[in-house]
Structure 1
Amino acid sequence: MHARLRRPKAAAAEFARYLRTETVGGVVLLVATAIALLWANSPWGESFRLLRDFPIGLDALHLKLTVGEWAKDGLLALFFFVVGLELKRELVIGELAEVRSALLPVIAAMGGMMVPAMVALAVSAGSPGAQGAWAIPVATDIAFALGVLALTGSGMPSSARIFLLSLAVVDDLGAIAVIAIAFTAKFDLLAFGAAILLCALYWYLQHKRIRSSWLYVPIGLLTWYAVHASGIHATIAGVALGLLTRVRPDPYEREAPALRLEHRLQPYSAGFAVPVFALFAAGVPIGADALRMLTQDPIALAVIAGLLAGKLLGIFGFSFVAVKLGLAEKPAELSWRDMAAVAMLGGVGFTVSLLIAELALPAGEAEVAKAAVLVASAVAALLAALMLLRRSRAHRGTETVD
């Protein structure tokens, strides 16, 4: 009887463990994207648009958002909270605790933002959407990129994952900062002040070792609401709270709050939040006309060039120069060919690039830009996968590692 009662709980725990693996997270994201594209381009495409644009929420609190906006503003905040937790752990007790080691992904991320933006600006110069298109290729999709690395780079050293994770997080934080500065139509100082106070309260409770979820959940929701009301994109609330979470366990604790929260929330982030966002963001028309636009529209060409050429040149180039000048230190077990493969993964813009496209461009131009993001991200993932498979074989000893 007792064994029978425990079985559903054990099955749920096993399913959650399965969702935590990056390979599965990448596959779930890929499946959600495929469903979105098939649904949006099927005879039932109108039902997709009706669902995506269906309003839900309280108008009195300025929270009457469409289903697509809830996915973009709400669910992605959970994803960025988990990302913030992992980054904080790496910065404090992980491989990025050393300044010279932490500098390399930061410098690489700067290159991965600046060069794609300049490439996109150069390609789209003179077109009506150029003022928004430059920001689209600055981001790297953390979940998708890590999924490709886990799937095809199993023979790569663990430092490749840490470098990619740190690079992608800094990259996306920069992209969110770009959103906050360049694409915030309004700014409410009072709401922003409330968000700062709530973050300070969260940090104080962490400092005092308070563990009650009855306090933290309302604080988290109120912080999200305050950031949303301030006019800044609400996902920044997730990042801020993640970075304020304690990562060093006390002697009496089995694990620190950051690790415990990451363990609990990762399945919801990878198995629900990110795929649902992808479902509503990736549903763009991909017909003959749309594909023709990708080869003719300056915005589409700017996005593709920025993600494929700009990312590779920016990430690899800045890393190479930083190491040669002695500003940063490359992991000893990674060769420059390994770094090139990881840099190619930076071209997988997907989640945040889709988000920026929606915020930066009018509806019609955004659809073309999102189609360009999907195509460029798929090509970057394929090229990176081929490079990673080759480098994985090298690290297993079937080829000479340079």
Structure 2
Amino acid sequence: MITRVRSELTRYLRTETVGGALLLVAAAVALIWVNSPWGASYQTMVDAHLDIPALHLDLTLADWSKDGLLAIFFFVAGLELKREFAVGELRDPKRAALPIIAAVGGVITPAVIASVVGHGVPGMDKGWAIPVATDIAFALAILAMTGSRIPTSARVFLLSLAVVDDLLAIILIAVLFTASLSLLWLAAALACCGAWALAQKLRLHTPLFYLPVALVCWYALHEAGIHPTLAGVALGLLTRVRKDPGESIAPATHLEHVVQPISAGFCVPLFALFASGVPLDSAVFGSLFTDRLSLAIILGLLLGKTTGIFGVSWLVIKLGWAKRPAGLEYRDMFALSVLGAIGFTVSLLVAELALADVGDDAVDLAKAAVLVTSMAASLIGSALLLRRGRVHQARRDADQLPQGEGSTK
């Protein structure tokens, strides 16, 4: 019975709706906690240190959540990337053209808007990257809850878009937040990646090999000066996605089934708990729509992501460079583009990395801007999807009506 319950729980945690709901609950708990009379205890928890002296690791719990737990989230993202490019929708250049080009537009446009609006603001030399990423779990959860009546090609388009979007965000993190580089430790990390790839080629299956290699790779990147979450992406991309004739399941699929519930049910919600605790006092509210830092993030996310994704998609379809997803109309694609403005997990991470030297007030303001904009995008996107769902359902009902009348005569 325990095995059956555990199996049902992990299956439940694999669904986008549950992962997104846990993310929202964790963020809400953090916001309520930090703004309650017990807010000091929240800050004490966030700043508490969990040190490993033997490895010279001196990190707060908040640092462990963004450097350690998010590495597992990025590992799942790497597995999804590899699967989409190898055997998924992105393996076909014609099908991949639209979400890839749309993702590029959805990264460049908010970056340009944030750079222009926030020009000269302290921290915006790297802070322009805050609004460039779409949160896969959050966006797909909203789509699953409110877009069930629109064609299934909507999920394929949004997932492919978000996967490419995450890849571009990962590249930006690697480029922008590598201050000093230790070539020796980088070589050690590359050796771990090589060992992982070789073990995959030799069809080695034991976790007693892979888990230590993953931990050493994470530590080596941390010591090399590169954000250690990139270890998760690299190892995910090096995992085999095609099964051999004698295998029942491919290694990447197996790992995703095992790790994804851990990521969705524990790692990402816990990161949200540590990252979303923003004091919402009068100073934050007063600056949210007047300070150029927060305006750069709000306009970059809500305006930049929406217009970048939809505008580029419309243009390349009109030019004949790509085809519109089957069953989707431009209004459906606009609703999905609004969901692309949900920048939660990666945006919060980039805000902490980009504004760490500016001060806690700037970090809190940036986080508040991300949270408010993501909630606005989710509400607007939900309303649009519900409306489009009613339109599609009405058409399906109309198509079935003549057949039903004919059968009764």
Report the TM-score range of the alignment, normalised by the length of the smaller protein.
over 0.9
For the 8 Å contact 2:221–2:231, the answer to whether it is kept is yes
User: Hey, what does 2:303 align to over in structure 1?
Assistant: 309
Residue 270 of structure 1: CA displacement? 0.5
Deviations 1:29-72 (A, max 9, x none): 10000000001111111111111111112234232211001100
Question: Which amino acid in the other structure matches residue 259 of structure 1?
Answer: T
For the 8 Å contact 2:80–2:163, the answer to whether it is kept is no
Given the alignment of the two structures, is residue 142 of structure 1 paired with residue 136 of structure 2, yes or no? yes
Q: What secondary structure does 2:145 align onto?
A: helix
For the 8 Å contact 2:86–2:241, the answer to whether it is kept is yes
User: Hey, what does 2:45 align to over in structure 1?
Assistant: 51
Given the alignment of the two structures, is residue 155 of structure 1 paired with residue 152 of structure 2, yes or no? no
Cα distance in 2 for partners of 1:117, 1:335 equals 27
Q: What secondary structure does 1:56 align onto?
A: strand
Question: Which amino acid in the other structure matches residue 138 of structure 1?
Answer: V
Match of 2:106 among 92, 112, 121: 112
Residue 318 of structure 1: CA displacement? 1.4
Match of 2:275 among 276, 281, 298: 281
Question: Which amino acid in the other structure matches residue 385 of structure 1?
Answer: S
Worse-superposed segment, 110-119 or 161-170: 161-170
The number of residue pairs the alignment matches comes to: 395
**Percent identity for Structure 1 against Structure 2:** 55
For the 8 Å contact 1:350–1:377, the answer to whether it is kept is yes
Residue pairs, 1:3-402, within 5 angstroms: 7-361=1-355, 362=358, 363-398=360-395
Q: Scaled by the length of structure 1, what TM-score is found?
A: 0.95
Task: Please say which structure displays the higher CA radius of gyration.
Answer: 2
Ranges in structure 2 where 5+ consecutive residues have no aligned partner: 399-409
Q: What secondary structure does 2:57 align onto?
A: coil
For the 8 Å contact 2:77–2:163, the answer to whether it is kept is yes
Ranges in structure 1 where 5+ consecutive residues have no aligned partner: 1-6
Cα distance in 2 for partners of 1:63, 1:375 equals 34
- The 3 A distance-change label for structure 1 pair 328 and 62 is farther
Cα distance in 2 for partners of 1:330, 1:341 equals 14
- The 3 A distance-change label for structure 1 pair 397 and 94 is farther
Cα distance in 2 for partners of 1:72, 1:330 equals 37
Cα distance in 2 for partners of 1:179, 1:90 equals 22
For the 8 Å contact 1:112–1:312, the answer to whether it is kept is yes
- The 3 A distance-change label for structure 1 pair 193 and 397 is farther
Residue 399 of structure 1: CA displacement? 7.9
Question: Which amino acid in the other structure matches residue 391 of structure 2?
Answer: A
Residue 221 of structure 1: CA displacement? 1.1
- The 3 A distance-change label for structure 1 pair 159 and 192 is farther
User: Hey, what does 1:4 align to over in structure 2?
Assistant: none
Cα distance in 2 for partners of 1:400, 1:104 equals 30
Question: Which amino acid in the other structure matches residue 381 of structure 2?
Answer: A
For the 8 Å contact 2:89–2:160, the answer to whether it is kept is no
Worse-superposed segment, 290-299 or 316-325: 316-325
For the 8 Å contact 2:177–2:227, the answer to whether it is kept is no
RMSD between aligned alpha carbons? 1.6
Question: Which amino acid in the other structure matches residue 71 of structure 2?
Answer: A
Question: Which amino acid in the other structure matches residue 203 of structure 1?
Answer: A
User: Hey, what does 2:406 align to over in structure 1?
Assistant: none
Cα distance in 1 for partners of 2:56, 2:151 equals 47
Runs of 4+ in structure 1 displaced over 3 angstroms? Answer: 397-401
Cα distance in 2 for partners of 1:152, 1:40 equals 30
Residue 90 of structure 1: CA displacement? 2.0
Cα distance in 1 for partners of 2:214, 2:342 equals 30
- The 3 A distance-change label for structure 1 pair 184 and 366 is same
For the 8 Å contact 1:101–1:330, the answer to whether it is kept is no
Cα distance in 2 for partners of 1:264, 1:116 equals 35
Residue 398 of structure 1: CA displacement? 4.4
For the 8 Å contact 1:41–1:285, the answer to whether it is kept is yes
Deviations 1:293-317 (A, max 9, x none): 1011110011000010000011111
Cα distance in 2 for partners of 1:259, 1:365 equals 40
Deviations 1:110-158 (A, max 9, x none): 1111100111112112322332331110111111111111111112323
Worse-superposed segment, 247-256 or 317-326: 317-326
User: Hey, what does 1:3 align to over in structure 2?
Assistant: none
Q: Scaled by the length of structure 2, what TM-score is found?
A: 0.93
